[in-house]
Amino acid sequence: MRVLDTRSSKPEELASILNTPLLQANPEVETAVKSILADVCERGDTAVLEYVRKFDWPDADSLIVSDSEIEAACSQVSDDLRGAIRCAAENIRRYHEKQHKTSWFDIEQNGCLLGQLVQPLDRVAVLAPAFQAPLPSSLLMAAIPAKIAGVKEIFVSTPPRRDGTIHPAMAVAAREAGVNKVYRVGGAHGVAAFAYGTESIPKVDKIVGPGGIYVTMAKRLVFGTVGIDMLAGPSEIVVIADETANPVYVASDLLSQAEHDSDARAILLTPSRKLAEWVNDEVERQLTQLSRQETARASLSAHGAIIITSDLDEAIELANKIAPEHLSVSIAEPVSILGSIKKAGAILLGEYSTEPIGDYVAGPNHILPTSGTARFSSPLSVDDFLKKSSVIMYSRQAIQKDGPHAVILAETEGLDAHAKAVRARLEH
């Protein structure tokens, strides 16, 4: 990995690592996705089945995974994996139940009632991609908060295998999360189907969950027709560590993100030159043991770095500038700096809070803001599946008090009809 020092490295070299890459425009991908969206919107199931045959299942003839197919897939899962999925689901459920919001109403002495009506969305689609392997954890992270919010219909979109079946782990996760129906479709065509609706696939209110560049582009283009959770970029981790940190643990956390893909980012910020050298050696040692060594090495070469800072405060300052998806804090007193961390998707405190624990079983959501968007956005939560309506009920006494002020504001803005609507109540 590159080893840089804030006191001696060239500013442009530091900037290339610290400046968060924004979601870049990709005209070629955008053109291809626009074509897919238009095709699915016009031809419905016929178009979707053609894309499924092209990308996943050559003999595709059905988009809906039947209950009997789900049952058969579940029966193939080992007790150990079933137990792991159940453990994750229970922890995710327990954590997210604390986020639930309720409606509230206040009645003032003049008879004015003000409040907020909180209601769940009706229909949600959960994207559960397979990539090189199934992602049952992402299905749980998206579907369980929706269930807690009270969403009436939760649908899962996951690409089939070459024989048309879905991965057994996905079937178990879908059952555990209590989803209503599973569809064997993924990619941009899956996003299009749930955004516009087809003969077999219902139009939903919101589409959530991760995906590759084509899925992310599709989500961006259908936003407004449906809601989306976020536009996710490559995975990333920043580790803040001092001389007390275990270099084996730090190196393993950096590699846990680097192995995702070659665009992932893994950065260590430390005031300890000695730790920096140890971690650098340990990363190289552990790299040789990884099945995804080539991907991890490409990631670290392009986007990884060890940055030696003047002190711990500078490390915290740089972490806030990056606003990473995952921020791991491995220092002598990790809780002591929690108040100084302002911008991060997930904050992992202490040497035992390794990033994969947060990804799988701790309970907090692992669908997190990336590419610096933790500056202004948050992890997926129950709130993402709720809509809020303002409630206003004025009495005669209340409008007599506030109405004249509303008239003045309306007239200032040149909206005569607004002013007249209020005056009609005041005069009668």
User: In Å, what is the CA distance from 170 to each residue of 156, 161, 288, 302, 374?
Assistant: 10, 12, 31, 33, 29
> Of residues 96, 189, 326, 366, which has the active-site annotation?
326
Number of residues written out for the chain: 428
Q: Among residues 147, 141, 155, which one has the least CA distance to residue 92?
A: 141
Annotation says 69 is catalytic: no
Q: How are the residues of the chain apportioned to helix, strand and coil, as percentages rounded to the nearest 5?
A: 50, 15, 35
Annotation says 351 is catalytic: no
Q: Is 307 helix (H, G, I), strand (E, B) or coil?
A: strand
> Of residues 325, 351, 355, 366, which has the active-site annotation?
325
Quick one: CA torsion of 40, 46, 51, 57, rounded to 10 degrees? Answer: 150
Q: Among residues 149, 189, 165, which one has the least CA distance to residue 70?
A: 165
DSSP 8-class letter at 107: E
Beta-carbon contacts of residue 192 (< 8 Å; ≥ 6 apart): 36, 37, 39, 40, 41, 48, 218, 222
Torsion angles phi and psi, residue 96, rounded to 5: -75, -20
Beta-carbon contacts of residue 88 (< 8 Å; ≥ 6 apart): 137, 140, 360, 361
Token pair, residue 241, equals 């560590």
Residues that are catalytic: 325-326
